[in-house]
Structure formats: C-alpha cells, structure tokens
Structure 1
Amino acid sequence: MRLLVYSHDTFGLGNIRRMLAICEHLLREIEGLSILLISGSPILHGFRLPKGLDYIKLPCINRGETDNLVAKYLGTDIDETVKMRSDLILSAAVNYKPDLVLVDKKPYGIKNELAPTLDYLQAKLPQTRFVLLLRDILDTPAKTIAEWHKHGYYEAVKKFYDLLLIVGIPEIFHLPQEYEFPTEVIQKAHFCGYIRKPQGCKQPEQVRDELQLSSNQKLVLVTPGGGEDGYQLIHTYLTGLKLLTDTHNIKSLIICGSEMPIEHRQALYQMATTYPQVQMYEFTDDLMSYVGVADVVVSMAGYNTVCEILSASKPAVVIPRIKPSQEQFVRSQRMYEFGCFQTIHPHDLTPSVLMQQVQQQLVNTQVNNTVDLGGLDRIASLIKSIFTNKNLIYEREVLYSERFSQGILAGKIII
C-alpha cells in the first residue's frame, strides 16, 4: 500500500512537523504501508525518520512576512522554481503509482504545482484516492474565502478529493461554517481533533539534570517555533528578566529555532551571557522532553506548539504572529476564550507585560485539558478504511441539517 504525502512548506517548520507526526502514526497503525513524502522543507533531513518513510526534497520556496513567494536558495525566479518542483512531483507520482495521495493545506499545492499530478493520476490511475488535510485555522474568514474562490479550491475539493480532514474541533473554530464551504465540500469534511504530541524521548529527571535544575527552581521554556521571526519575542523575554528579583528562583531555557537568521541568534546568545540562569539552544527535534519539565511555556501560536502545550497540560503565555497570515492571532484568541492559555497581542508586548503574565502563570494550577487531542487516531481510521476498501458512507442529511446546525461535523465510517 503506497501513500504519497505532499507537505506545504513556505514558512517555518510547522507543516513538516505535523505531516511527519501523521506519517509516523500511520506507519504504526497500517501494516504494509509505504510512504513517500514530498517537501521543500530545508530542515527535513534533521528529523528522525521511521522505517517505511522516505522523502523527495524539492527546491525551497520562502514566503516571508511580505507574503511574496521567492526561491529561498536558488538563483531562479519563482515561476521557474515552481515549474521545477511541479515536474519533480509529477515524476515521483508517475513512478511511485500511489494508492492514496495526502495533500496538506492547499488543494492544488503552492501556486498550483500539484495540478498536473492530480490530473495525471485521475486520468491514468483512477483508482488513486485523494485526501486533503487542513489545520484548524487557515486565516481570517474574509481572506480565506477570497483565496479559495480565486484559486478554485472549492471546485478542486469537489472534483478530486474523497475526504477533507480537519485537525481541529468546531468548538474552537468551525472551519466549514467560517469559510462558507458549499454542501458538496461539507459532506466530505471530518473534524478529527487536534494532534496529541507524545511524551519526549528523555525522562524528566534526565532533563532536569541536563539543565541543572534544583528541586525548588521553576523552569520557563521559551520557544518561537522555527524561529524565522522569533527575535522580538526572545529579546523581549531576556529584557524582562531584569525586572525579576532573585527571589523568583527561575531558570530559563530558550530554544531559538533552526530557521532564525544567524545574526539574530548571535545577538541573542550575546545578550543571554549576562543572565547565568538562562540556557540557549539552537534547535531540538525533541521539544516535548523540555515542554514536559517546564512550569510555564512562552511561545508563539503555531499549530504544533499549541498542540505541545495542550498535550502536556502546561500553563502558557502565547504571543501570536500577525503577518503575513492572521492564523496564529485567530487561534490564540479562540483558545484564550476556551481557557487554554493566556495571550498577548504583539502590539502590546513589552518586557513588563510579558514578565507579569509569566509570573501569574507560574502559580496557575487551572489548565484547560478538555480539548480533543484524538486527531491522529481518527486520521488513521479514515485512511485505513480507504486502504481496506471499505465504503465511506456519509449520513448526508444528518450531517448537513442536524449536526451542522449544532456545530458538530463528522463523517461516519460504516464498516
């Protein structure tokens, strides 16, 4: 059984980390599965890859804060780079002959680079099934609706995709309602829940020894995800440490992220030398080991980081990215309202405001752990049903008229 996975990859590490977690779970749950992952992520080689998974690395494309796509490393224009990526994807599909294609985020891929592959597989390998995976929030409703109409994404889902999987819950963001999905798309949609992150590879005692944490010390973990735009968050945190007295007895672990520009990282490392209770790491592929030991997490509001906070039931102060996409801002607001963590708008972020929130969270014992984190199991169940040739039967009338009006949306597998 062959699965081809397309991972969207224009900014940060979020998409590739999420898709790798899904691939690893599918390999554990589906016997005889082989996965070919296609991605332009520049850090893909830095992750531990399980047996049964291999990848093809595409030329990198970067979105940046301006939302304009450019080739990240090659001296080629964007159209030339996308054409090269599109040809590589099609060649992989022609030779690999997948039974199922799992596509992340954009139905036609970046700048429609998947369109030739979708057309080819539908015409030449009509037995191939297609699944689209969407995270909980894409962007503001106005921007997303306009983009989906402009690029024909609603029609693409109708034409190509058998299932649309949403790794979120309607109580936080009812994606089909917010983005005005037509009925034919709604009937393919499943809320799967958020993705639970497994415990880290290291035992808590091992991490505490590594960080030289005494029994009465509190640990604050600061992580801006991939780090490409994380300088301001870390700089504000380090500046705020001056406001704390010795009585707080806090140690800080700051993980800059592999995508942080080297000049930013060097400046922060230099700044941190004045704080003996601060340790700086560039990158880890085992963040959950440190989240598990932390008393408070200070982070941005990327999907994976939020899932790590929820999985470990940790108090957190979250500062969302607000450009070029409002995804993180919307997520942070909805989850704050749901009681998941505290949040600070970047325009309101100052050292004193941040330290005040951190101190409040250090004594917070009320963490909302009611968010559904069963996403991986539901994804595996739905995909397994395709591989085992079970019919996916939707209770369409119930789905649309009753459950949709109640804010509950779930396709039903009848085996």
Structure 2
Amino acid sequence: MKLLVYSHDAFGLGNLRRMLAICEHLSETIPQISILFISGSPIIHSFRLPQGLDYIKLPCLGRDRNGNLAAKFLGTSVEETVKLRSQLIHMATLNFQPDLFLVDKKPYGLKNELKPTLNYLKAFSPQTQNILLLRDILDTPEKTIEDWTQYGYYDALELFYDRILAVGTPEVFDLVREYQFSPESAKKVKFCGYIRKKNGRKSQQDVRRELKVLPEEKLVLVTPGGGEDGARLIENYLNGLASLSCDRIPRTLIICGPEMPIQQRQNFFTIARHYTQVMMREFSDDLMSYMAAADAVVSMGGYNTISEILSLNKPAVVVPRVHPVREQLIRSQRLAELGLLKSIHPDILTPQNLITAVLDCLNSQDLIRDSARIKIPVQLDLGALPCIQSEISQLLWSQKLSKPPQSPTVLAS
C-alpha cells in the first residue's frame, strides 16, 4: 500500500517534525506500507527516517518574519521555483501512483503548487483517497477566513478531500466553528487529539550524567525550536541570568536550533562561556530525552514543542511567535488558561519577567511534591497518532479492496 505525503516547510521545523512523527507511527503499525515523503525542508536529511519511507527534496522556499517568500538557495524567482516544485510533485505522483495522498495544512499546497496534482488525481485516479491534515490552530479566525476565501481553500475541501484530520481538540480550539467550515466540509472533520511524542532514546539519568547535573540540581531546557527567529528568547534568558546571584542560577541547557543564523549562535556560545552553569548545543534530533531530564522548559509556542511539553507534563514558560501568524499566541494563551503552562506575550517580554517565571516553575515543582492539595490541570487528549493510523488504515483498505487491476497499457501510458 502506497502513501504519498506532502509537507511544504517554508519556515521552521514544525511541519516536518509533525509529519515525520505521523509517518513513523504509520510505518510501525500498518504492514507493508510504502511512504513517499515530499518536502521542501533543507534539513530533512538530518532526521532519523523510519523504515519504509523515502523522500523527494523540493527546491527550498524560505519565508521571512513578515511572511514574504523567496527562493532560499537557487537564484530563481518565486514563480519559477514554485513551477519547478509543482512539476516535481506532479511527476512523482504520476509515477508512484499512491493509494492515499496526505497533505499537510494547505489544501492547494504552497502557492497553489498542488493544484495540477489534485486535478490529475480527480480526473485519472479517482480511487486515490485525499486527506488534509490540519494542526490545532492555523491563525486568527479573521485572518484564516479571509485567506481561505481568497485562495479558494473552502472549495478545495469540498472538491478534492475525502477526510480532514485535525491534530487538536475542540476544547482548546474548535476549528470547524472558528473557521466557519461549511456543513459538507464539517462532516469530513475528525478531531484526533494532540500528538503524544515518543520517549527519547536516552534515560533521564543518562542525560543528567552526560550533562554532569547533580541529583540535587535543577535543570532548565531552553529551546526555540528550529531557531530561525529564536534569538530574542535566548537573549532574554541569558540576560535574566545576569540578574541572579551565582548560587541562584539554575543549570541550563540551551539548544539553539539548526536554522539559527550562524553569527547569532556564535554570539550566544560566547556569552554562555561566562556561566559555568550554562551548556550550549546547536541541535539535537532527540529533544525528548533532554526535555524529559529537565525540571522546567523555556520555549516558543510551536505545535511540536507544546506536544512534547504536554506529553511529558513538564512545567513550561512559553514565549509565542506572533508574526507572521498568531497561532502560537492563541495556543499558548488557551493552554495557559487551562493551567497547563505559563505564557508571556513577546510584547511584554523582559529578562526579569522571564527568569522570574522560570524560577516560579522550578519552585512550583517543589510545592507539588510537598502537597497533595494542589489542583491537577486538565488532561488533554494526546491520542492523535493511533487515531490517524485508524483513519488511514480504513481508507487504505477500503481503497485497496475497490481498486480495479490496471492493465499494462494503462500503467505505461
């Protein structure tokens, strides 16, 4: 059974990490599945890929903090790059002949690059099932409704997609209601819950030994995700440490992220040398191991990082991104209202309020251990992966049973 997966990845690591986690679970739980992953991420090769998955790397399109697109490496225009990407996707689909096409986030892909492929599947491979995967929150309702109306995404849901899987819960954000889906599209939506992240490859004890953290010491993990726009978070944290006496500075591991500009990363490594309690890393493909070993987490509000925090039930201080979209802000505020984390709006972020929030998180852990009367925060559904697996299995098997055998002439043409 053949699954084609599309993830455009023009900014950060979020889409890539989420889709690879889904693919890994599918490869482990659905026998004889072959997954072809199409991605524009420049660092997909840095991740451990599951057995049964191969990928096609599209020419990169980058997005700046204002949301403007440009070719990341090629000296071509956006239009030329999108045309090349679209043709590569179309030819891959034509030759791979997928039983199911799983599309991440954008119904027509980046800059409508999926339109030729979707039209081809509808006309010449109607048995192929199309699934759109949506994260819990895309942007504000006003902005999302405006964009989806302008780009015809609501029509795409009705014309091309058999199922819409939302990796979130309506208790946090009901995208069907907030984004005003039509009754026809609403029937296709399945809320799957959040993605529970797998345990890391190292034990907590091994990580703390590796980092030389003593049993009585507290460990803070600072992670801005991919790191492309994470410099302000790290800068405020390091400046916050400067206001503490030496004996109050917690042991800290800062993982900058592979997409942080080299000069910024080098500056932080230089500053960190002034603190014996601070350790720096550029990147880890096993973030869950380090998060599990930490007593508190400082992060941005991306979907994957939040899923990791929720999976491990870690105290966290989240400073969300607010440009070019506000999904991280909405997510962190909604989860803060449920008592699942602390959220600081970047407009009021200072070294002092950040480090104060971190110390409060560390102290709250001591209070929880010492008191049985502390109210337990609401528990969210983290069963997205088995839910997605069930939905895709049903579609694959129903498609396989109904698919007529193709003659050599059809295959050749």
TM-score (norm 1): 0.93
CA-to-aligned-CA distance 1:379-401 (integer Å, 9 cap, x gap): 0000000112189xxxxxxxxxx
Q: 1:383 aligns with which of 379, 392, 395?
A: 392
Deviation, 1:268, is 0.7
CA 334–85 in structure 1, closer or farther in 2 if over 3 Å, else same: same
Provide the residue aligned with 1:114 in structure 2.
114
Asked if the contact 2:339–2:378 (Cα under 8 Å) also holds between the matched residues in 1, the reply is no
Provide the residue aligned with 1:89 in structure 2.
89
Alignment partners' CA distance in 2, 1:369 and 1:243: 34
Provide the residue aligned with 2:403 in structure 1.
none
Alignment partners' CA distance in 2, 1:70 and 1:323: 17
TM-score (norm 2): 0.93
Provide the residue aligned with 2:407 in structure 1.
none
Count residues with an aligned counterpart. 391
Deviation, 1:311, is 0.4
CA-to-aligned-CA distance 1:73-130 (integer Å, 9 cap, x gap): 1100000000000000000000000000000000000000000001111111111000
Deviation, 1:369, is 5.9
Alignment partners' CA distance in 1, 2:103 and 2:247: 51
Asked if the contact 1:310–1:369 (Cα under 8 Å) also holds between the matched residues in 2, the reply is no
Provide the residue aligned with 1:141 in structure 2.
141
Provide the residue aligned with 1:259 in structure 2.
259
Asked if the contact 2:220–2:297 (Cα under 8 Å) also holds between the matched residues in 1, the reply is yes
Residue type of the alignment partner of 1:387: L
Provide the residue aligned with 2:19 in structure 1.
19
| 2:128 equivalent to 1:128 | yes
Q: Tell me the SS of whatever aligns to 1:172.
A: coil
Q: Tell me the SS of whatever aligns to 2:293.
A: coil
Asked if the contact 2:237–2:355 (Cα under 8 Å) also holds between the matched residues in 1, the reply is yes
- After superposition, residues 385-404 of structure 1 pair within 5 angstroms as 385-389=394-398
Provide the residue aligned with 1:239 in structure 2.
239
Provide the residue aligned with 1:101 in structure 2.
101
Asked if the contact 2:298–2:317 (Cα under 8 Å) also holds between the matched residues in 1, the reply is yes
Asked if the contact 1:6–1:37 (Cα under 8 Å) also holds between the matched residues in 2, the reply is yes
Alignment partners' CA distance in 2, 1:381 and 1:210: 39
Provide the residue aligned with 1:270 in structure 2.
270
Residue type of the alignment partner of 1:142: E
Provide the residue aligned with 2:347 in structure 1.
347
Asked if the contact 1:313–1:368 (Cα under 8 Å) also holds between the matched residues in 2, the reply is no
Provide the residue aligned with 2:162 in structure 1.
162
- After superposition, residues 204-219 of structure 1 pair within 5 angstroms as 204-219=204-219
Provide the residue aligned with 1:309 in structure 2.
309
Q: Tell me the SS of whatever aligns to 2:221.
A: strand
Provide the residue aligned with 1:150 in structure 2.
150
Provide the residue aligned with 1:373 in structure 2.
382
| 2:180 equivalent to 1:180 | yes
Residue type of the alignment partner of 1:262: I
Residue type of the alignment partner of 1:167: V
Alignment partners' CA distance in 2, 1:380 and 1:362: 37
CA 217–369 in structure 1, closer or farther in 2 if over 3 Å, else same: farther
Alignment partners' CA distance in 1, 2:377 and 2:135: 21
Alignment partners' CA distance in 1, 2:225 and 2:249: 26
Q: Tell me the SS of whatever aligns to 2:170.
A: coil
Asked if the contact 2:258–2:282 (Cα under 8 Å) also holds between the matched residues in 1, the reply is yes
- Worse-matched range after superposition: 298-307 or 265-274: 265-274
Residue type of the alignment partner of 2:377: N
Q: Can you give the 5+ residue segments of structure 2 that lack an aligned partner in the other structure?
A: 369-373, 401-413
Provide the residue aligned with 1:200 in structure 2.
200
Alignment partners' CA distance in 1, 2:380 and 2:392: 23
Alignment partners' CA distance in 2, 1:166 and 1:321: 21
| 2:74 equivalent to 1:74 | yes
Residue type of the alignment partner of 1:272: A
Provide the residue aligned with 1:408 in structure 2.
none
Asked if the contact 1:83–1:113 (Cα under 8 Å) also holds between the matched residues in 2, the reply is yes
